Structure formats: C-alpha cells, structure tokens
Amino acid sequence: MLAKLRSLAVLGIDAFDIGIEADITEMLPSFTIVGLPDGAVRESRERVLSAIKNCGYEFPARKVTINMAPADMKKEGSAYDLPIALGLLIASGQITIDETKTYGIVGELSLDGSVKRVKGMLSMALCAREQKLSGLIVPKECAQEAAIAEGLSVYPVESLNQAIHFLQDPNSIPPHQGDIPGLFNRAKKYPIDFCDVKGQEQVKRSLLVAAAGGHNIMMIGPPGSGKTMLARRIPSILPDLTLNEALETTKIHSVAGLLEPNTPLLATRPFRSPHHTISDAGLTGGGSYPRPGEISLSHNGILFLDELPEFNKNVLENLRQPIEDGKVTISRAAMSLSYPAKFMLAVAMNPCPCGYYTDTRHECSCAPQQIQRYMSKISGPLMDRIDIHVEVPALSYEELAQKQTGESSSSIREKVVAAREVQLQRFNGEKRVYCNAHMESSHLRSYCELDAPSQELIRRAIEKLGLSARAYDRILKVSRTIADLDNSKQIQSNHIAEAVQYRSLDRKLWMGG
C-alpha cells in the first residue's frame, strides 16, 4: 500500500515543498529512504520505529521504502520524522486518514512519540503559505514561530498520537493564533543604554555619525578604555527593525538553530562578536552542507571584531566582498547558496601589542618594529573599507567618578532616525541604497558636491595623509552624513574637517606610527 504526504525542507534561508511517499510491500523486512537524505534523515528509522511502538502501533515487518521528492534536492535534518511515521501507519493500514495532502507536516520524534522542535520553522511556514496549503502541523514549541506567517493555519501537536487524532478529526485542535504586533513590541527592548557610559564624548559623537550613515567604524585605544562596552551599545541607537527586516533576520537565526523558544521573532538588531580564533567557515558560513556564518547572523545588525589584529589575516580578507555586496555566496560542487549579509562592521584594537602606546599613564614596552608588524596584520584594502577611525582614550578618575549620566540611547536614536529619514528620501527609488554608506560613485557625484573651501581642504588632506581613492570616497560619505545630522543640504568645510579627523589611523601611519 502507498501513502503520500507533504512536508517542507530548507535550502539556504528559504524553504521548498517536498513530497513524502511511504510504500510497504510483502518482501523481506528492510527500511530504505531515497531522495538524497543526509545522515540525520537516514537515522530517522530508529526514532520512528521506537515512537510507533511506544504509541501503541506496530512497526511493519515488511519491505519499507520512503521516497522524498524532488529526488535531486538534498534533504537534511530531523524534521521529517513525523510525516514518515504517519506515512508508515497509513501505508500499513493501521490508521485511515483522508486529505493528508493538503497539510504540511514537520516535526522530530522522540523515542516515546513526543514531537520536538526543528530548525527553520519560519522559512517553512512562509513556504507553506505560498504553496497555499490548508495548514501546517508543527511541534508545539514551534507554533509561535510558524504563526508569524499570517494567513496560514498552524496546528501545534505534542505527540504522534495527537497528530493522528488531528488528521482524523481536524476540529480537535484549533489553529494557533499569532500576535505579531504584540511579539514585536514586547521584544523591542535593549538591556543596555548609552546613559551608562561616562566620558568619551568624542567617541560617542563618532558612533552617532556611524549609526546615522551606516558606516563601518574602528575604535583604537588601550585595554580597559571601554571599546567593547561602547560597541555593545551601538544596536540601541540604530533605527528599529522594520517588520520585513525582522522576518529576514529571524529566518537566518531560525535556520541556524539560534532562536530562543520564547523569542519567535527577533525585534532588536543582532550583535555578533566572534572570538579571534574563528575559522573562515565560522565567519562567512560553509560546511559540507552550507550554514550561515557570523557575517550572515549579523545581517541588519552589528558585526563586532574585538582585538582585530589577532584574527587570522585570511579570515579578515573574507570580509571585503560581503562589505561591498551585502551578501555572501558559498559555492560547493553540488550547490551554490547566497546568504544576506548587510551589516555594520565595528572593530576594536589596541594601538600596539602591549596595548599602552597611546596611554599617558602606562609606558609602552613595544619597539617601533613590533608596532609596525602589529599594524600590518590589517591589510590596506580592508582598512579602506572602514569609514571611521577613532581613538578611545583611557578615562581619568574625575570622569569615572562623575555622577552625571550621559545622553540616553533613545535620545541619540532620535537623531539617527532623523538623519536616516533624510537619506531614505534622497535615495527614494534607488535599489540596494538605503543609507549614505551604500552610495556608489554616481551617488557621490550627485549628492556630495563641494564648494571651493571644502575642495581645498580635502585636497590638502589627501596629499598629506596619502589617502587612497576609496578613502577619499569614505570621507565624502561621512561628510554627507555629518551634513545630514546638521540638517544641511550642502556639505560644508566643517563637515569635511570632522570627517578627515575620523581617519586617525591614516594620520598616525603618515606621521610614522
């Protein structure tokens, strides 16, 4: 006897519809799964066997063939346990169910027959909605995440028996009701705030400029000056995620299995801070079956690299293309996947190996050659892609002891949002350009015209600092952002002067380190 059901599989961050066929014939007992299954899918035999027996049914002692179509697309993970078990019970005649083709079914089975959560549920739910399925049967733990796909009926089940009962009586389980606005508002909170930061007014200003224009930023300072603390607060001053951004970000984290059960929708911008020992695949994504890396997990948020020179140089070079393209492409012999990777890069580093080159209270023990080797670990092309360099000095006792709180994140965010609104109006109708950091050469000619004093100022800066053409473009972009913060349509010489000050590392290299 043959049984046919429908399920869903994830490829990249999107899902596709698959058919699961279970066939039982009167031959010597065997169990075969075809259709490019991976190891986790092949192992489902043991989970399904125990679950069926522990739910009071018999595992068929005949030849069992499970086909997963389309056969040329690789299936991986444990999300097919539940449809396979249901297909076996229908094919063996132990249960009778009508209209199974109209439901998508996903879920991992425990040995006792309970249904466990699976990765990529949001992508599957969105695909099920596009396929216009009657409903989606999911693990109860995934119901909130699946219900984010509005217009799709989601039916949560806790066990194999409950899934059987629902298919025999569809009125036994009401559709799960999602509350997207409620989820979005409850999750839209940051636990840290800029008001906790004492001193560092110049650095806060540079972070305001970086957030307002989406610019990459580098912070240079001695240990303990607050570089990491400042970086962790950058998401709190960025504009709130839109619903579309939240859905795309949630899909990436869901596929990676990083969503918390009580957080079905990400409403705050992600902040990823990988350790400097990370591998190429860990940063960009990869593996025999590609997975998103830290770059993609930072999509619509912040990628923070602390102790930048300690990262492997080959790993850092992998950042160059995603910074330009806003996506990362992983190619394998069998497939090529693209993951979104539009992030704001924030990096921090010490000025020398010992860390105290710029600290007036500690003596630096590094030789000039050591400092030069330390700085040379960061390539020029990568450095050019970082718009803002700012020094983070060590705080004095008076600054640490002051009781007055700094400007709050909400207050800074208002300025950022106002500047971003100006940029959205400016780039209305442009594709892939939403803020000043994304401007191309044509945009610079149109929106970054300079008067004579500004041209002379930037000419002298380029000659003295030996800036590259890309660094020149970065100065123009940052100047445009500073002008937007001042609500100025024209870039003025003071805007250029401030933008040049944000190339502090170029100044130090020109002065001999």
pLDDT of residue 47: 95
187-510: CATH architecture: 3-Layer(aba) Sandwich (3.40)
State phi, psi for 331 to the nearest 5 degrees. -110, 135
| pLDDT tens track, the chain, 513 positions | 789 999 999 988 999 999 999 999 999 999 999 998 988 899 999 999 999 999 999 999 999 999 999 998 888 889 999 999 999 999 999 998 877 678 999 999 999 999 999 999 999 999 999 999 989 999 999 999 999 998 999 999 999 999 999 999 999 999 998 878 877 877 788 889 998 888 888 999 999 999 999 999 999 999 988 899 999 999 999 999 988 899 999 999 999 999 887 888 898 999 999 999 999 989 998 877 778 999 999 999 999 999 999 999 889 998 988 988 889 988 776 678 889 999 999 999 998 999 888 787 888 889 989 988 888 888 888 887 899 999 998 877 677 777 777 889 999 999 999 999 999 999 987 777 889 988 888 888 889 989 899 999 988 888 887 777 777 888 999 999 999 999 999 999 999 999 988 886 665 443 333
**Cα 409 → chain centroid:** 22
Which candidate, 113, 43, 123, places its Cα nearest to that of 78?
Answer: 43
Answer yes or no: are the C-beta atoms of 225 and 394 closer than 8 Å: yes
Residue 439 is encoded by which pair of tokens? Answer: 């401007």
Q: Which amino acid does the sequence have at 299?
A: H
Number of alpha carbons in the 13 Å side-chain half-sphere of residue 181:
0
Instruction: State how beta strands 291-292 and 285-286 pair.
Output: antiparallel
Residue 46 is encoded by which pair of tokens? Answer: 């043991």
CA distances (Å), origin 165, targets 169, 173, 314: 6, 9, 55
Instruction: State how beta strands 285-286 and 2-11 pair.
Output: unpaired
pLDDT of residue 504: 67
- Write the CB contacts of 244 (distance below 8 Å, at least 6 apart in sequence): none
pLDDT of residue 5: 94
Return d(Cα 158, Cα 114) in angstroms, integer: 6
Sheet harboring 217-220: ordered strands across?
271-272, 302-305, 344-349, 217-220, 388-391
Answer yes or no: are the C-beta atoms of 395 and 226 closer than 8 Å: yes
The topology (CATH level 3) of 2-178 is: Ribosomal Protein S5; domain 2 (3.30.230)
Q: Where are the domains of the chain?
A: 2-178, 187-510
Predicted TM-score of the model (pTM):
0.90
Apex CA 113: angle with CA 66 and CA 124, to 5°?
60
Domains 2-178 and 187-510 fall in the same CATH topology: no
